[in-house]
Structure 1
Amino acid sequence: MADAQDKGADARTEDVKARKEREKNELYALDISGVEWHSAPGTEEHEERVEIAYLPEGAVAMRSSLDPETVLRYTEAEWTAFVLGARDGEFDLEPTSGNGGAEAE
């Protein structure tokens, strides 16, 4: 019985992986040449900043203003997970001289 359950779980895992791969392929095949890029309020054109563009079905594209040809794309689920993680502090940096804080002593 456990062997059949393991096979079923493996098949579901493979189905999820295949679906995610299809979603990613479709997302990167999408023509985004005409999207509107947004950045944080108050940033100047000459400043380095992160820019995002909203894509169909809740997806998001993200790039650096200094390297606009390199664009990362996220599905709605990936973007939601990132935003929620950022809000929860998952990506907070420990203060160091490299990120504007004091070096740990």
Structure 2
Amino acid sequence: MAIVPAYRLKNIMIYGHITEPYVIGFIEFLLKKAMVLERLVVSTDTALKPSQRPDICGVTYGKKDVFTAKKRLEFSQKLLSLPRVSKRAVIQFS
């Protein structure tokens, strides 16, 4: 497993069970450490395009999380309020 230095992470996409506490903690860590981050895309849809689906041990993941409008708003506000080390960092939701 290669370790990517924080000064090289420019674009990150996170999808899946994004409301889990460990995922939110990981996003917070990335925002604090990724010095040249330009774009963080957070997707509530784990049913990604076929070209984006991870194939792990022969299993292709593609399940859709149920995300109410209220949960989406609360989650979005929480992420947007997190401190960022990169002045150029933009958080996008899809």
TM-score by length of 2: 0.28
TM-score by length of 1: 0.25
Q: Whose helix fraction is larger, Structure 1's or Structure 2's? A: 1
